[in-house]
Chain A
Amino acid sequence: MEPRHLLVSACLTLLAAPILVAQEEGPAPLTEQQRAAHVLSRLAYGPRPGEIDRVLDMGVDNWLKNQFGFKQPEDPRLEDRLSEFQTLSMDIAECVTFTSTPRKEKSSIAEQRLARRKNRIPMEELMESIAFRAVFSERQTTEVMTEFWRNHFNVSFTKGQSIYAQMPDYERVVVQQNVWGSFPDMLTASATHPAMLNYLDNRLSRKPPSKQQLAELERRTKRSTGSKERAEEAVQIASQRGLNENYGRELLELHTLGVDNFYKQKDVIAVAECLTGWTIDARREGSRQYVFNPEMHVDGNKHVLGKLIREDRDGGPGQGMALLEMLGKHKGTADFIAMKMVRFLVADNPPEKLVAKVAKTYRKTDGDMVAMLETIIESEEFWDPANVRNKFKTPYEFIISALRITGCEIGSLGELERYLVAMGQPIYNCDDPTGYYDTSDAWLDPGVMALRWEFAVDLANGKVDAVAIPDSFYDQVPIDLPPRLWQHHLTQLILPGGAGARTRAALATVTSEYLEKRKVPDLYELGPELVGLLLGSPEFQQQ
């Protein structure tokens, strides 16, 4: 035991020379320093300057305790900043009023532009606030898990303008408020949220209208338009309305059971029928919230997964609620959620034993988020050195962690968003209901690395608009040391988990080349060059 320990710690502290170590007995358990780096990498978007020391001071376990839930006090500067956003705390009706411009017969181009601009405010504010939280929040695990659930219950701005004003409320009411609650509660919150009802079309899904309803529609349209043809046309269109399977299918496939687990096409239809009438109150003075419309509901008992789901005798949404309750308690849901969480927090190939343990916790606690997370961090697998820095960062994780580790100051999201678009992961813009994947095979295609390198170099050289690495970051390097050694300190700052031989050799070459060129070396000149390379290094691509 002892000699191996010595060797490993020697490797970790001696950054200068590449040493090859024959490992025969398997890796040693993580040191406290490595544990701190690991939790800050996996349950946070990487450390900010000095954060590893702060976690070590308070103890890794204490840090973790504060992170599960909202116990950790928030940074007041972040709160101040978030309070400047206008739409974040609005409910949907308020947001609709805020963004809409009264229609006029003729509006000037400037007025039209202003109207469009107003429309986009909720989108811009939501995206920017999410990035700010991810970078600056002291509740890092909350942010990491919020992002996980955002993707699990994906809704997207790509749906079009109709969803813009629904999204801030979705983020708050569905995701943020349930992130430390229970999975079934989040499921119900998503199922009854206008953004989801809109995104996956359930708001439109209904039983075909009756003859009586069509006659009523004809009469009303004729009265309001005075045109017989218009009335007939309205009836023609209305008579085609009916069931829409989109949400029913994704509810089973993506939100609860996992694809083709337990269910068949007939279950998809039955699920869609149970949920007919779950729509949005879109009347002129309506609430804009979820409402159950019994006129759209397909009446009668249904069978889902071989179980009878009774019709609500009071004519309410009880049938859909019973369906959600069944799905929330289903073994398949427990397994699927457990698998996804372990894959997200431990390894792309989730260790089966741990998945089973987390699924058991789910069943025991009715999907309690804190309990499931505790099962994960109390496991051997989470702390297994094989599962440290083994996950390829998504573009979002890469950008956020680069901003954090360099202690960046951010004025606005603006250009950062453009990099996210280029790398294929703009915030809340995943068109597919799967949400963004978190596994390497979704992101590690040859080619995309070029975009990460460009971002790394641009960031380090102050070429990203409204974003800057402060001088104080470089002030951490003891400037009176020989310039040859600056690279070691910068490496420790950007790659607290250590750098491989190739990376160290490459950095040494870059440093020597610089020192040959410059008689009077300048840390604030060489530093950015090295930081760009470190952020683009293979090591930094993994969390």
Chain B
Amino acid sequence: MNTTRRDFLRLAATAGILSQVDPFTSRMFAAPQSPTGSALVVIFLRGAADGMNMIVPMGDPGYEALRPTIATTIAEGVVPLDKTFGLHPAMKALKPVFDAGKFAPIVCAGSPHRTRSHFDAQDWMEFAAPGDRSMRNGWINRYLEVTKPKKDNVSEFRALGMQELLPRSLRGSYPVLAVPTSLGRRKTSKTLDRFERFYGDSGDMMEGGESMSGQREEDRAGVVQSGRITIETLRRFGEIIALAEKKKKKNIRNNQTVSGSSYPKSKFANRLKQIALVLRANEGLEVAGIDYGGWDDHTQEGGVEGRMADRMTDFSRSLAAFCQDLGPQLDTTSILVMSEFGRTCRENGNSGTDHGHGSNMLLFGGGVKGGKVHGDWRGLGETDLYQGRDLAVTTDFRDVMNEVLENTLGFDVPKEFFPQYKPLAVRGLF
């Protein structure tokens, strides 16, 4: 199953990328390609977040009976969005964004595949190829690869994974930087200088002097390649953040308005803050990805308060602050939130929920048709549910990705970009 990098190297070798056209030479950080800075931020809630506990179907007559210990009600603080749906009290920070028309939840979205395995479902959602075990390139990576600028004068700073290891959607043949959280800036910059000779672009790929067969050569080339991208992109990332922070300080000194957004103190919020800095720097960043883990609430999910509520509070406050921080830049930015599948509509024997099917997706941005709950809701009656237990999927997650790619990134999605995909619904999200 683990062939990504090999496939890349093979592909790269046949395409002559490694041997002839080296994309990582000094020209790589020339002027950004799209100064307008349309960007997509993808957030993956790992562990199958209980969508029904985020966008709560408080108006559905079946809801409370299915969830005797974990349901939340208006009386307990659910914030109504329309007659049927409301935000969980812990998500109330997002209500102003909804009211401003910049938040569009899509209910009953998910994968047509029946799997309830976290790991398959995550792979397939992030590869946007349900059931296809041969696909090893993430959907965003494919976008980056297909739209790769051919000539000079392009930004290679197009995508960032804001964590130690890339989300799968960013993995694949197009090299993307994972930004480690724990680097000290000055020390890191020294370290990068030190290792440049060992991973720099001038060395030979053959590693002469050692008898290497083809496969090992590819394996080693993968390590060198990874190191080289680490040096070049991380160095640039550090510069951008430093510059942006300096600018911000200057603005504050000059009493110029900076967004008055206040992020909570959390890892997630910090990463969003960094994305905002990079986006404002206009370096041609097109896509950033972040994971938010820990949503597998088999037990003690909690109601108004509790484990999931705590997570939702951090999540929603961070996002609300991010939207505010982006200011006018939010108009050209979309934020897409997804999770591998939903959870059982009925709570299980331990005040939690088990693996289900349909969930929801959350879309934010100036360009989206927000202030409205999208998606077809069939209700919670036994026969309305998928296999009698889970939310049915009435919007294929690729329907949403498709609209986001076309509208936010202006990408004319080619046929077979999503293999075997037949649109389930046009949602008119933009």
Contact = CB atoms under 8 A, between A and B. Distances in A.
B210 A11 contact: yes
Interface in A321-375: 343, 347-349
B417 interface: no
Contacts, number: 244
Given A19-B208, A23-B211, A448 B165 contact: yes
A244 interface: yes
Contacts of B416: none
Interface string B154-197: 00000001001110000100011111111100011001101101
B265 interface: no
Interface stretch (B37-45, B252-260, B328-336, B344-352): B344-352
B209 A451 contact: no
A446 B233 contact: yes
B85 to A, nearest CB: 24
Given A386-B213, A446-B226, A448-B164, A245 B198 contact: no
Contact of A240 (B5, B209, B349): B349
- Most B CB atoms within 10 A — which of A241, A453, A541? A453
Interface string A440-463: 111111111111011001000000
Nearest to A9: B211
Nearest to B294: A431
Given A15-B209, A21-B211, A450-B230, A439 B349 contact: no
A498 B349 CA distance: 58
Contact of A447 (B118, B161, B209): B161
Contact of A445 (B3, B161, B216, B224): B161
Contacts of B363: none
Given A349-B3, A444-B226, A388 B115 contact: no
B115 A260 contact: yes
A447 B230 contact: yes
A423 interface: yes
Contacts of A431: 293-294
B148 interface: no
Nearest to A447: B178
Contact of B2 (A23, A244, A439): A439
Given A11-B209, A23-B211, A241 B349 contact: yes
A533 B165 contact: no
Interface stretch (A55-63, A114-122, A198-206): A198-206
B215 to A, nearest CB: 5
Contacts of A441: 2-5, 136, 171
Nearest to B222: A444
Given A204-B350, A447-B179, A542-B223, A502 B69 contact: no
B230 A446 contact: yes
Interface stretch (B50-58, B199-207, B268-276, B421-429): B199-207
Interface in B284-300: 293-294, 298-299
- Most B CB atoms within 10 A — which of A28, A439, A446, A533? A446
Contacts of B229: 446-447
A422 interface: yes
Nearest to B293: A431
A20 interface: yes
A392 B219 contact: yes
Contacts of B176: 445-446
A502 B203 contact: yes
B351 A237 contact: yes
Contact of A453 (B116, B191, B213, B347): B191
Contact of A502 (B114, B117, B166, B204): B204
A500 B2 contact: no
A249 B296 CA distance: 14
Nearest to B4: A441
Contacts of B349: 204-206, 208, 240-244
Contact of A26 (B117, B198, B213, B299): B213
Nearest to B224: A538
A228 to B, nearest CB: 19
Interface string B331-368: 00000000000000001111110110000000000000
Interface of A: 8, 11-12, 14-15, 18-21, 23, 26-28, 201, 204-206, 208, 236-237, 240-246, 249, 253, 259-260, 265, 268, 343, 347-349, 385-386, 388-392, 422-424, 431-432, 434, 437, 439-451, 453-454, 457, 497-506, 509-510, 532-533, 536-539, 541-542
Given A390-B215, A431-B294, A502-B204, 11 more contacts: A205-B350, A208-B349, A244-B348, A249-B116, A260-B115, A260-B117, A446-B226, A447-B178, A447-B230, A500-B210, A536-B198
Interface of B: 2-6, 68-69, 114-120, 136, 161, 164-166, 171, 175-183, 187-188, 191-192, 194-195, 197-199, 203-204, 206-216, 219-220, 222-227, 229-230, 233-234, 293-294, 298-299, 347-352, 354-355, 387
